[in-house]
Amino acid sequence: MSRLFTLERQTIAPIPDAERHGTSRGLVAIWFGMNMTPLTVVTGATATTVLGLPLGWTIIALLAGNLVGGVGMALHAAQGPRLGVPQMLQARGQFGAHGAAVIVLVALVMFIGYFSSNLVVSIDSAHQIVPGLPGPVAVSLCALVSLVGTVFGYRLVRWLTAAGSYVVGTLAVVAFVRVLSDGAVWTHLGGGRVTAAGFFGAVALGVVWQLTYAPYVSDYSRYLPRRTGARGAFWGSYLGCVASSVLLMVLGAIVGLAAGGADTMAGLHTLLGPGVGFVVLLGFALVATAGNSVNVYCSSLCALTLVETFRRGWVPGVRARVATTLVLQALGVWIAVEAQSGFASAYFSFLSVLLYVLIPWSAVNLVDYYLVRHADYDVDAFFAHDGGRYGRWNVGALLVFAVGVLAQLPFVVTGLYTGPLGAALDGVDLAWLVGFAVSCLGYYLLARLRPELVRLRRPAVREAVAP
């Protein structure tokens, strides 16, 4: 227990073998707990409240989306034990030292956004328990809990997340039993209508939810001993993340139907009743605020990676990590406070657009790691002043990335913008699938036909590396 409150000394440098620890079973607990937040429940509720699906088709769509998206997420996790560096720093192996900064910046904005949105949803839970609690006070209290975990670093963040999985896992079971034991609830569960747009939209919810973790999933598997191997990191991350996502999203879908489209957390509180509702929402709020340290921890690694990109030779230490954490935490709290009064709603919608940007990055990373370079990277070159063999800018990878982003635009379906093909498909969101497929195929062909454009010094294709 005393080691949990020892300041983490590592930041973005490779984790030495002597400091590696943990098991694939521990990853299951971490990633099961990672989704144990009210935000997961709210996300699942959108399938029935916004997309209008009936419960049966919602469960099928959410299950399919999480199962498929989880594969991509877990393939990123499998890279951690071998390379030992944060996922976003490893992007230098595909995009070059400066080229990767574009991806790191997108991920940084996304992490801060998810930290803020988790605060907002946690506050919604808190307001059901203490209605008169002022928004700024609630935000500050929630942020303080997550700040403690982030400052001490990896061990405490990991412990808080794993412990939260048991707490909220138990509360989720209680919530299921309580809600489904109410006969009146069943009269509402037959609502909804099956549409192609609704079904594929719900599938996209699951896929994108899983791929959201791709930019930092190996930040946790990188601490595993090398002997744990890629398979342990893959299955530990996959099973934990997919199981918890589906569990709470389905709970949210049920609440969305049973509560008649009311605010999800308020609806859950009403369905559970005053006593059980108080306990469940209190547990959700506490675990979510503690687990939210994950987003600040990973955003600090992104910020340090971004600064180190343009200050080569600088090795960030504990002070730099803690100072960066405080700045990012303050920024996230400010966004959450403003969101309480309706400001920044466009900002949270913009986060969905950022996910479309991350999908081509994920495709390039996976193809490069498993099919092109076969996990053979020079980690020292990631920190070289000139980018080493990967250079400052990898023109080929950046070109494929740009094409992957542009290929999605006609298919995009969001509150901010709907592409012409997305509209022609009656709102069916296939942008993520198009972007991923175009980027995978484009990068593979480029590496095979013009390997020099992706800074490859040997033939591009041979037997694939299994996770």
pLDDT at 463: 47
| pLDDT band for position 457 (cuts 50, 70, 90) | low
d(C-alpha 92, C-alpha 393), whole Å: 9
All domains of the chain in start order, with CATH: 23-351 (1.10.4160.10)
Q: Is the dihedral of CA 297, 298, 299, 302 positive or negative?
A: positive
Q: Does 205 have pLDDT greater than 90?
A: no
Helix pair angle (24-34, 274-291), 10° resolution = 120
In this structure, what DSSP letter does residue 410 have?
A: G
Q: pLDDT category, 406, cuts 50, 70, 90?
A: very high
- DSSP per position, 96-156: -TTHHHHHHHHHHHHHHHHHHHHHHHHHHHHHHHSTT--HHHHHHHHHHHHHHHHHH-HHH
Residue 197 pLDDT: 83
pTM: 0.86
**Mean pLDDT value across the chain:** 84
**Out of 120-129, 232-241, 431-440, which region has the weakest mean confidence (pLDDT)?**
120-129
C-beta separation of 168 from 320 below 8 A:
no
Question: Count of CB atoms within 10 A of residue 246's CB?
Answer: 22
Q: Which residues contact 159 (CB under 8 A, 6 or more apart)?
A: 4
Among 207, 296, 216, 285, residue whose Cα is nearest residue 41: 285
Give the pLDDT confidence score for residue 51 in this predicted structure.
Answer: 85
Instruction: Kindly give, in sequence order, each residue whose CB lies less than 8 Å from that of residue 274, ignoring residues fewer than 6 positions away.
Output: none
Pairwise CA distance, residues 87 & 85, whole Å = 6
Q: What pLDDT score was predicted for residue 460? A: 44
Residue with tokens 């009403």: 270
Contact in structure between 328 and 143 (CB atoms under 8 Å) = no
Residue 375 burial class via C-beta count within 10 angstroms: exposed 0-12, middle 13-18, buried 19 and up: middle
Residue 459: pLDDT band with limits 50, 70, 90? very low
Task: State yes or no: pLDDT of 190 exceeds 60.
Answer: yes
* Contact of 81 with 375, CB cutoff 8 Å: no
Alpha-helical regions (H) of 153-228: 154-180, 183-186, 196-211, 218-221
User: Residue 369 has which token pair?
Assistant: 């790691």
Average pLDDT over residues 455-459: 65
Q: What is the average pLDDT across 308-325?
A: 84
Range in 96-105, 138-147, 194-203, 344-353 the model is least confident about: 344-353
Residue in 204, 232, 203, 234 with CA at minimum distance from that of residue 217: 234
pLDDT score at 334: 84
Helix (H, G, I), strand (E, B) or coil at 8: coil
